[in-house]
Amino acid sequence: MLSIAVASFVGLVGIGIGSQTNNVDAASKDNVITVNYVPNYGIAIWDSPEAGQHATGKYLQHGTSWKTFATQVVNGKTWYNLGGAQWIDSTYTIDGYAPIAQAPAHPDYTSQINTYPWGQCTYYVKMVAPWVGNYWGNGNQWGASAKKVGFKVDNQPAAGSVVSFASNQWVGGWQADPYYGHVAYVKSYNPANNTITITQGGMGFRTPTGPNTQVVSGASNFTYIHR
């Protein structure tokens, strides 16, 4: 799908102070460029290619394609006009309409070795759900850490997800650590009675490396990280 800027074309701005400017016809293939920046990020649109320019506050996302109306070279750098006072730096574009591979919605850390401390709840979950990341912090920090890198995080229980318990939150008949919280793997979910069956590790269990199976009620009260 081709996204095209619709603002009407206006004349190119004059030479700015201290700038060396050349105005040429749009040179990109079929007058279309594709943003080639960083997946999930975009490049800024500026009101001018000249010195003293200002960002418009709008961005073109990586992988999107746009029609160009003119090209301007300022101090050796090429700028594309998208219509009106809308300019982008050509550094992060390629000529023509070319589908660019997008990054997945979130990274998959399966290939990473487990760096969590042996015998901790975080260590166990990384072992049974290798797709989670290292360095996500304590169990009660996992939800925020996972969300930050693009994982779906909510209060919807699901088999195969990871459940994070807040500090002092009840985990069945016991409370999560007041400082570290707790994290476990969701083996199954029973919507009929809103319970989850979890497997977990930790130094407080007879078997620190798990699986230590437990059924926990009030499942919708917890934070879940989905693959």
- Considering the domain 21-95, what is its CATH architecture? Roll (2.30)
Best CA proximity match to 125, nearest among 153, 172, 165, 155:
165
pTM above 0.85, yes or no: no
CA angle, residues 222, 223, 224, in degrees to nearest 5 = 120
Dihedral sign from CA coordinates of 184, 190, 193, 197: negative
The C-alpha atoms of residue 63 and residue 39 are separated, in whole angstroms, by: 8
Percent with pLDDT over 90 in the chain: 62
Tens of pLDDT, residues 62-108:
888 898 899 999 999 999 999 889 999 999 898 887 665 555 567 88
Cis peptide before 117, with omega less than 30 degrees from 0? no
Tens of pLDDT, residues 210-224:
999 999 999 999 999
Fold of 121-226: endopeptidase fold (from Nostoc punctiforme) (3.90.1720)
Where in the chain are the domains? 21-95, 121-226
